[in-house]
Amino acid sequence: MKNDPEFAKSDYFSKMQWLRNVNDDIYDPSYTDMLRVAFTSEFRRGRLQDLVALLSGRNFETKQCEESIVEQSFETFRKGVHNFIKQTHFERFVMILRSAGFASNQLIRGQNAVNFAYIMYLRGRSENIPAAGLERIVRRWFVASMLTGRYARNTETSFDQDIRQLDRHGLHRHIDAVIAAEMSENFWSVLLPQQLETSSPISPYFLVYQAAQVELQDKGFLSRDIAVLDLILNHCDVYHVYPRNMLKKQGLSSGRYNQIANFVLAQSEINIAISDKSPEQYFGELMEQCHGGRMRYGGITDEAEMRANFHMSALPESLLDGEIPTYNDFLDARRHIMAQKIRRDYR
148-195 tens-digit pLDDT: 999 988 899 999 999 999 989 988 899 999 999 999 999 999 999 999
Q: pLDDT band at 344, cuts 50/70/90?
A: very high
Distance CA 207, CA 113 (A): 13
pLDDT of 274 above 90: yes
pLDDT score, position 301: 94
Q: What is the mean pLDDT of the segment spanning 246-265?
A: 96
**Which letter, b or e, does each residue of 58-80 get, where b requires 16 or more Cβ atoms within 10 Å of its Cβ?**
beeeeeeeeeebeeebeeebeeb
pLDDT of 29 above 90: yes
77-127 tens-digit pLDDT: 999 999 999 999 999 999 999 999 999 999 998 899 999 999 999 999 999
